[in-house]
Amino acid sequence: MKFPSLNTQILLGALLGIMIGFALVSIGKDSVLTKTSLYAANLVGTFFIDLLKMVLIPLVFTSITVGVANLHAHKQIHRVWVSTLSFFVFSMSVAIVVGLMANALFHTGKGLHLEMFQNAMANFAAKQQTPSDFFTHFLHGLFMNPFTALAQGDVLAVLIFALFLGVALVVGGERYKNILVLLQEFLDLIMQMVRWIMTIAPFGIMALLITLMVTQDVALLGTLGKFAVVVSGSLLFHGALLLPLILYVVTGMTPWRFWHGAREALVTAFATSSSSATLPITLRCVEHNLHVRKEIAQFVIPLGATINMDGTALYEATAALFVANLVGIDLDLTQQLIVFFTAMFAAIGAPGIPSAGMVTMVMVLQSVGLPAEAIAILLPIDRLLDTLRTAANVEGDMIGSLVVQKIVYSKGSNT
Ligand code: ASP
């Protein structure tokens, strides 16, 4: 019998995880079997995420530096920059509009039990963070001693330093050729490690999904059901329809072909709820399965994992309107525009880790005078919604790399 491919193994792992999770929940959360299984699943899941995080920082550092330096070699640097950033802004804008429209259609939050909301507000003191505070903080965090950033695992600051270093290597040209070769080889080595880590991905994903199923308070989904359904539906609409449509229109690649190549990364994003932890796998998928050229992938994917978050942007906008409905405020057009822009900044500023979007959402709420404490009622179901949100984030990055490749290497480019 032929051994199933890694792709199939990962899908099987995910399905098994969900099934075992269901079975354990029906046995009862207090049974010895459930507790023991949860302990084991937690151990395996954490081990898998730790392995991914272990390679994350060296990967971002080398891949961005080498990516920028190699781009110049192709005389495409300007085109890549502009098309990458334009695509990110465009796809996040589409996502936010989907979120706003879904809310206009379904009015989530209207008529929801106010008692529960008030209890949540009473027990939660949100940190005050105005948009200007957020912006100052965000800007301040961009530039750091690279050794501190590397040691603290600060992805955004590492990325900025790597961008500078890449540009410096380009400007230095021949003189620094050896450093570039060294970094390129280092990157190849890290990707070798990613290949090893991938072999345990099916078990890691299974374990993460078991933990998710057993530890989440699914009953709460009932109360916040409509909101959860609208968010999930809009994320699916964006991820399963709009993004593939954009991909098809620009590159001619069919959704099936894309999903076939992308599913390892999508399933991992779903299970880990972290675009950063998924990054090594995303990079592997676009390079190996979707045949994005190295120099494009190594630049677009790490940058996208850090700043391009369609799912988060959509969620921030939907959740802000949900809270507005909950407190009985109708946001006018100007206020909705403010939500649009702050949701985009909040998504850009959110690190690719679980529930990061919840933290930056405080800013979106406060920008239109909504009580930040309201996120307390969204927190209990956040981990569940974060699964789809992160998958949409990662999908946006992968489609971005394909679109940018098409734009850069279409006729008229001089490579
Ligand atoms: N978990 C998301 C990610 O890693 C960020 C968020 O929306 O919380 O992409």
pLDDT grade, residue 414 (50/70/90)? very low
**With contact defined as beta carbons under 8 Å apart, do 24 and 214 qualify?**
yes
Q: How far apart are CA 137 and CA 349, in angstroms?
A: 10
Tell me what pLDDT residue 144 has: 87
Mapping DSSP to helix (H, G, I), strand (E, B) and coil, where does residue 2 land?
coil
The pLDDT score that the predictor gives to residue 111 is: 65
268 close to ligand 1 (CB < 6 Angstrom):
no
Check residue 301 and give its pLDDT: 94
* Percent of the chain's residues with pLDDT above 70: 89
How far does residue 276's CA lie from ligand 1's centre (Å)? 9
For residue 311, the ligand 1 atom closest to its alpha carbon is 7
pLDDT at position 2 is 65
For residue 197, what pLDDT is reported? 87
The rounded distance, in Å, linking the Cα atoms of 98 and 146 is 38
DSSP state of 1: -
Between helix 356-367 and helix 375-409 the angle, nearest 10°, is 100
Nearest to 283 by CA among 273, 269, 272: 269
pLDDT band of 1, cuts 50, 70, 90 = low
pLDDT confidence of residue 80: 86
Question: Is residue 355 in contact with ligand 1, taking CB distance under 6 Å?
Answer: yes
Ligand 1 pocket test: pick from 56, 91, 275 the residue with the most ligand atoms within 8 Å of its Cβ.
Answer: 275
Q: Which of 268, 303, 312, 315 to mutate to test the pocket of ligand 1 (most atoms within 8 A of CB)?
A: 312
Q: Are 284 and 63 in contact (CB under 8 A)?
A: no
Look over the chain and give the mean of its residue pLDDT values, rounded to a whole number.
Answer: 85
The answer to whether 66 and 302 are in contact (CB under 8 A) is no
**Tens digits of per-residue pLDDT, 102-142?**
988 888 767 665 555 555 555 544 455 566 776 777 777 77
Average pLDDT over residues 68-77: 71
pLDDT of the residue at 230: 92
Ligand 1 atom with the smallest distance to the CA of 278 is 4
* Closest by Cα among 282, 237, 296, 295 to 105: 237
Region 267-280: mean pLDDT is 92
Specify the pLDDT at position 159: 82
DSSP for 362-392, please give it: HHHHHHTT--GGGHHHHHHHHHHHHHHHHHH
Q: pLDDT-based confidence at 218, cuts 50/70/90?
A: low
270-294: average pLDDT: 93
Residue 173 vs residues 70, 168, 170, 179, 312: alpha-carbon distances, Å? 11, 8, 5, 11, 39
| Look-up of token digits 């699916």 | 236
pLDDT for 63 equals 83
pLDDT tens digits, 36-71: 999 999 999 899 888 888 888 888 898 888 888 877
Query: What's the rounded Cα separation, in Å, for the pair 359 and 350?
Result: 8
CA–centroid distance, residue 333 to ligand 1 (Å): 27
99 neighbors 314 (Cβ within 8 angstroms): yes
Report how far residue 77's alpha carbon sits from residue 79's, in angstroms, rounded to the nearest whole number.
6
Ligand 1, closest atom to CA 353? 4
Q: What percentage of the chain reaches a pLDDT higher than 90? A: 39
Residue 167, amino acid: V
Whole-number Å distance, alpha carbon 410 to ligand 1 midpoint, is 32
Q: Is 305 in the pocket of ligand 1 (CB under 6 A)?
A: no
Given a cut of 80, whether residue 77 has pLDDT beyond it is: no
Alpha-carbon span 346 to 331, nearest angstrom: 19
CA–CA gap between residue 232 and residue 318 (Å, rounded): 11
Neighbour count for residue 302 (Cβ, 10 Å) = 28
The dihedrals phi and psi of 64, each to the nearest 5 degrees, come to -70, -45
Ligand 1 contacts CB of residue 302 (under 6 A) = no
Res 207: pLDDT: 92
Q: How confident is the model at residue 324, as a pLDDT?
A: 87
Q: Which of 261, 268, 251 is nearest to 305 (CA)?
A: 268
Give 334 Cα–ligand 1 centroid separation in angstroms.
27
For ligand 1, whether the C-beta of 211 sits within 6 Å is no
The length of the chain is 415
The pLDDT tens digits of the residues spanning 327-371 come to 878 888 888 888 998 899 888 878 888 888 887 887 788 788 888
Query: With contact defined as beta carbons under 8 Å apart, do 318 and 346 qualify?
Result: no
> Is 80 exceeded by the pLDDT of residue 7?
no
**How close is the Cα of 356 to the center of ligand 1, in Å?**
5
**Residue 322 φ/ψ, nearest 5 degrees:** -60, -50
SS3 of the chain: helix, strand, coil, percent, to 5: 85, 0, 15
* Region class of 280: left (phi > 0), else alpha (psi between -120 and 50), else beta: alpha
Specify whether the CB–CB gap between 285 and 377 falls below 8 A: no
Residue 273 predicted with pLDDT over 70: yes
Cβ(383) to ligand 1 under 6 A? no
The count of other CB atoms within 10 Å of the CB of residue 168 is: 14
